[in-house]
A and B are shown apart, each in its own frame.
Chain A
Amino acid sequence: DIQMTQSPSSLSASVGDRVTITCRASQSISKYLNWYQQKPGRAPKLLIYVASSLQSGVPSRFSGSGSGTDFTLTINSLQPEDFATYFCQQTYSTPRTFGQGTKLDIK
Chain B
Amino acid sequence: QVQLQQWGAGLLKPSETLSLTCAVYGGSFSGYYWSWIRQPPGKGLEWIGEINHSGIPDYNPSLKSRVTISVDTSKNQFSLKLSAMTAADTAVYFCARGGVGASLHDWGQGTLVTVSS
Contact = CB atoms under 8 A, between A and B. Distances in A.
Interface stretch (A12-20, A71-79, A86-94): A86-94
B75 interface: no
Majority-rule SS of B interface residues? mixed
Nearest to B112: A41
A99 B35 CA distance: 18
Interface residues of A, number: 25
Contact of A98 (B44, B58, B101, B103): B44
Contacts, number: 65
Interface of A: 1, 31-32, 34, 36, 42-46, 49-50, 53, 55, 87, 89, 91, 94-101
Given A50-B100, A89-B103, 15 more contacts: A32-B102, A34-B101, A34-B104, A43-B108, A43-B109, A45-B107, A46-B103, A87-B45, A89-B47, A94-B60, A96-B50, A96-B102, A97-B47, A98-B45, A101-B45
